[in-house]
Structure 1
Amino acid sequence: MPAICDFTLGNPHEMPLQGVVTAIREWAIPHDKNWFAYKASEPEPQAFIAERLGLELDLAFEPGDIALTAGAFAAIMIAFRLVVDAGDEVIYSEPAWFCYEPMLLAANAVPRKVNLRSPTFDLDLVAVEAAIGPRTRLVIVNTPHNPTGRIYSRASLEALADLLERASARIGHRIFLLSDEPYRQLRFDGHGFTSPAALYPWTLISYSYGKVLLAPGQRLGYLALSPLMPTADRHSLRAVLFSAQMALGWCFPNAVMQYAVPDLDKLSIDQVALTRRRDRFMAALLRAGYSVLVPEGTFYLWSKWTDSDPQRQWNALADRDVFVLPGSVMNSPGYFRISLTASDEMVERALPAFVEVA
């Protein structure tokens, strides 16, 4: 329905990037009889991503460190299977992407949640350290952070690395870190980015092309092992990557998406437009009395409701055909998330509703 203003999920509301269409069309033409045969992680995209990721993060990735996956969903689930046994505990900070918990439960792991430090939503390292126990096996860090848009500083991530090193020695086994980075290339105002993989050797990186291309239905991503990881540990993980991806349901991208990686890697949605929508929304919401956190990355806006009855305000927006993601789905009922992937026309149509509801 044209009148609906849907800001809930990071879905496209305009036609796809022409470059995505062109790449898929061109690589769908078979070059040989095996063009659509079973595909695991193909050597060419593995080597390409290892080189590009190495340049981006200043780390010497090798092709064997890269597992091509059907988006970040698959990369995260593979990471869980690689390093987490049944009954192990996994720590992550809230508010958080709402799929971590069900995915951990599906992996027979125990979620341990800690809060980010309000109102800045920085990592609370004291809380993380307090949550670590004998069964802790993995800590998840999402940067740039969904839903708040925070990019964690190098100093904060260095302190986290030191914490995990001490804690691993204390509890007698290695704690791994999963750095969930699907929004890594979507950053505002010239903000830099530091990956935990550059600071803590026992880091795995999950990544999705679906965000920067705004094509989440074309499943393409990867799981990368930090090249700083000791050789024995890295090779033991490499050795079981294929069997984990196969056993989880053949979690590889389809053939066409793998062939298209070098072409797709050059593309990005219009980040100038994202900045324009962010600034337009922020100015209007702040004037109306909302408390809005300035996002440093992602394509989301995280805001506090203007009174103590979030359900009333969400319903009032819905009555005006405006839909946002309620913070309650991320255990933060006093907040809501706006996706900036909407069109400019949709933003302008929705702004009066936010003002009326406030």
Structure 2
Amino acid sequence: MKRLFVVVTIIFVILVGIFQHSRNSDSDINYERFNLVTPGVLRTPDERFNDIKDYPFSPNYLTIGDTRIHYLDEGPKEGKIIYLLHGEPAWSYLFRKMIPTLTEAGYRVIAPDMVGFGKSDKYISIDDYSHQMHVDKMVQLVRELDLKDVTAHLHDWGGLVGFRVIAEEPERFSGIIASNTSLIAPGRGFLRDLLSHISYPLFKLGIWIQGPATWEEFIGGDGFTGWIRYSRYTDNIDIGGIMQTLGNVSDEERAGYEAPYPNATYKAGAQIFPYLIPSELRKNEMAYRDVFEKWNKPFLIANSDNDPVTSNNPRLTEMLKRVPTAKEIVIKGPGHFIQEEAGPEYAQLIIDFINGDPQPFIKDRVVPVINL
């Protein structure tokens, strides 16, 4: 088995060396066109956010390594902390409809933008992004802010990153809500352990063999691989289009999600995120074994019935049920971005979860008028 692993790895490395290329390497960039703060790092100009509606929150910044991280810090400083972590391709703007309900109830809300998103700095090259990089940045932010007794709400890629953050600092967290997300891991056993070593190289090879997918193929139901093939190879990932397709947002809200990205070069983080999903299966598995299989604090799986991600992939939810205290509710009506379609109701669910009595709810979908 070890020989097989070595052979497969060598073959993959050779193929990658021949065929793989970075679509936005530093050498291809005309630096004069961008707000470059350090070599390889961009910062979205503040004026890009001037016209965003319903986002009246004051910015807060923390420099971690070579990047400046933006985060919201709303509500009373002495309040119990709720940590909201966004996913792909959102940023803290996603939580604008939830924050007022949470702060009015006396909670302190911390909502960071991950590197490459929102008001946080953005690497130019997709090669600078990794699952571990995101984990390291968010762990450092939690430590620097000295957050304690935290209820974490993790959505989409916020789960893949956030669960690993919690695994690094479990004593700081008192409860977890997983929303349309998972922590993907192979499970126990020798063959599954072997799979965790070789699956990502094989996955990347498979994506390269299949080649690019068009936007029409992606939204037409080409599934998980279609999403990755589209995002990995596109020249300009359509962040607003994704939010309108999966989030039921208006044209004005679409502009809010596009605001952090003056042009395609600022979108490297969103472009590469889907491609990184299976990149750290072994570390994810160790997080289950070391922390989450021993978790004895509240843990809620809150998925929506119209989410194409979790509803079409029940294995994602089953993975989370390795957590001994896991309970599941289904929210009827909203799609992938519950926070957009039912922000106040979802915020109340979080409050009820903290108080020990989370209840599912029904929210009829209202499709906004979209100017095509």
TM-score (norm 2): 0.23
Normalized against structure 1, the TM-score is what? Answer: 0.24
Structure with larger RCO (C-alpha < 8 A, sep 6+): 1
